[in-house]
Structure 1
């Protein structure tokens, strides 16, 4: 493969090609140089395609402004993708124009540090101008371009003042103390007469090593996006590195199929091991071809073989600087086989020039022309669709107006009927909730004794501990009653509320347009309705005062409480002196738990009062009373009665334990809490019914708001329809104009293809 590439070059159609230390020279049959360079034809093609893209840019700009003005949501004339597509075309066309307006073809040399990039350019310039050497030498970007002056000079980025070309050894040298930044650019203006490739405004760009800075993306954006050819200089003493591959993967991601040449420099090292030279060459060649074909996918395998070269830039520079390939170097003779390596370097220059003169138009202008045609075709398609859509819309709008008006009238009528019906249903449901909650709470009050008996916290009569016991009992009663109310009422209430809300939603959403029903349903918030009963037993029973002191069941006070009731007991204990005779009512009404104040009871109260007063005044009175009773009944009977009476007292006193006190406490608490809870039955049921009413009213209000919004949209649509008809007429006229202009631009691009890119064109 490679051995065939270093054989004598076959003559081309326009004349044979000779090789000297200065590179290839095209000659005519009569021996004179061709006065017409393919690069000049490239310049003509570039001017022509640039003029066409100026028109395309203007067309895309006007089309984009027109589509942006026409892309109104209510008109629905074109999709958002079509409008965005044309906007993207504007940036794409401007990017192509920016590349086309360059007046030079740019060749960028890249590679790792100390691979010989600067030496390759020096060899092509036939003079050691760029700094080179072992290690990191080139510190910034150096651009070499042709000049008509006989003397070379340099220009520093940001300045127009020319400087001596020798200053490049300091400004671009990494070993210099006055070096520039790595992304700076120094321009060397080199006489065109010394390098044939610079005569047609080709420029070379030398770069720092791609392995010395992490700012590769910045380098690519700043110095590589406008490059036409990339020359990757690798070290033939090692294989192609991943660093070099990664760099060109980034370039390939930003540029479509860049032109890449790969120079395996320092191939003179193979002279020391001639027996392994061919095997090493085939290894390098296979890996570089695989990189170009399979990884970068920029050329096919046959083309890739003409993009890989094995050279020694150092030998080429030495020979060209001395203008004699057979003259030895100042220090030693050239290594064996240097003629073949010099020939390979000249072959690289010839292929390089052919790529610029023949392939550049195809790889550059063909793609831009194809992109231009694709842009024009897509914009034209958008305009045709817009023109057709606008005409169809005009026919639909008259019918749509009457349909919209009918829909608005129907919505308003149905909304009135539904509002009355739903409000009546809400009223009935509120009344039903009030009844259910009231009934359930009354039943729970009746079961209050069982709930209190379930409370099993430790009981102690100590006042401090008793307060804690009461707080926990309040919480227990409130929790149990609330839980039981939820079990009895909440499930049915929540089911009824959900059913009512679902019915409201279905009936009201049916009034909305079909395309917005699901969207509106999704917009409604998810409401987890829960009835709160709010009993608050702690505050409700805050005034509860227990009475767990020992009370003998046969004591005078207990007997009076049992037979006379609370009022009679209080009257007797007060001594009866404060009792004022009152006229007896005709139909006395006595509480169920009190003894009626009849004349007989009043006499008994007076007698017991006298006895109690006498008994309680002194011990002598008590003894006197005991003596009277003993004299009347006898001492034996009195003793037996006393023993029985004392035994009963002792039994009751011994059984008055903490457990008995707890039972008495709970019994008193049940009586007190029941009376208090009965007072809030109506309040609690009203509160629950109010919650249900608020929930249903809120849902109904939200649905009504959505319906009102739909009605507003219909009214707004009716206002816009007349204006939209006028706009549709204008859109159709302009879309037809841009469609016709796209046809004209397609003709211009086809003419350019035939003139410059077809097989029979001048190129």
Structure 2
């Protein structure tokens, strides 16, 4: 073995037979495993796999964020429909599936050839250990897949099972001479520790096949085990030539894969050492046939065929690991060994480039498609959010202007309606006052219309007065309503209609149906005239005693004027009621003026005598008057005058009937009621105007309340719009961020393609 190592070093220096260009030395450890993996072409795949995995981790997080965002805006805003949300949710499963595939992705190489061409030996030589069963005859009975594991101990798993079996059992399970044979298409996975083989550590998977001449079910093999292979290695027997069965297999592969990468290994080239004189001719023959097959039949770019001895390489590498080997190395081993290394180097470059292309290009395209679709969706959401935001801003401005306009118009209308109500109240007060004064002047007619039987008995008279009070109050009220109600109702209706029309403009259309806006009354407005004659004339005290019209007191009242009337009243029997009745301010003023302007010299003699008779010395005055007349006119005239005076007295006394008493009663009542009613004219007119003011103010207040409710609704709607604008602004901002992140992820995938797909393929 020391001699072998020396010969290897000599060959690396360019010495020895069949000198070849020097090949860059590969650093190995004590077991012959290469170190410095960063310089290996397989690291391209490893780095590319890590890079695209990192990108898809970001894509997965991005899709989840997008779905969460779309669920959020779906509840609050109508800028995304269920179809888009469902479409976005589907991307989660797609990305998750891609990530699962990426985690399982590896560089797969499939070895095919006729039985006993040394496929298993080639794999063992590349793995630097005798892992797969090999030997003479038909050895491998099923498909064997060798891949790396992070565990320290190797194991195998049969197809359809998860049980770990000892790796030593592979010689029994996969050996064609085993009694319990597995089906040719069955796959047995052999897991070998990655720390024992650099190729396995770099995610390379080897697939060994039973032999293309074992069964005609090549289509089933290809579909089941070869469609995801990155490189196909045809292991041919250098002692013979390419057979039809081998060519047919790769024709079928070429039909299913557009650009299959195929290496041709002419194994058992160590047999050429026994016939060195034909070595070059046989080598050239094999190369020409291999090139014809690849270029002319499979339409593949020209590739070299390699002449190796897998058995020798395996023994050499086992010897490098201080394992005992029994078969000696033949002449020309160094050349075959280096050619095997050349194959490995080109194989690593090819499988790395091919795997990166076949494994990651599709994922990269799908990632870009997902990013593009999400970008388009988010771009649509962003534009819709901006458009809806502009609409909401426009609505907010219009609503804000409407609120300001309503408040301004409400202030203007309020001022105008206050003035109108004030004017109408004054007009009503004047109308009622005028009408009531006119009705008071016609009070005697109203009292005369009262025809209830009259009797001077106190009990009957009290009932009569109550009925008269009611008659007067009802009559006055009826007359006032007849004179005023129609005009006032029309004015009230016109005013209420004007208020309603003015306020109707300020209430939005959608609020009118809900607010039941007040319309003018169906029944005319009617003023209640609260005269209350029963209480007003409760102090009325009738005087039904007989009074001779030609009596001294009567004559004094008739001829002496108001001053004499005042003095005559001194002798009148005063009642408590009469003493309580206050005189009106007008009467007081008139009496004072009469007292100031009248003088004792202007009075007639009769007046002076009457005044004297009205004093406490009345009797003496009467005697003096009688004596004065007796001496002046004579007794006959006095007697005649007395007789006539007596007749008049008797006539009046006889005509003082119940009817005369009723007439006197009504006259006294009219005088008393007139005076009392005149006292409440201002109060009544003010009361009526107050009713009108209350009615108009109440109507206007209700209308204002409706406007205030509408304004409150608009304020609430304005706040809702502001909240929606804020949400839309937030939604558009997030959509913009997510859209930009989609561009970022697409750019990352572009950089990945530039770095690993375009540059290295």
* TM-score using structure 2 length: 0.41
Larger radius of gyration: 2
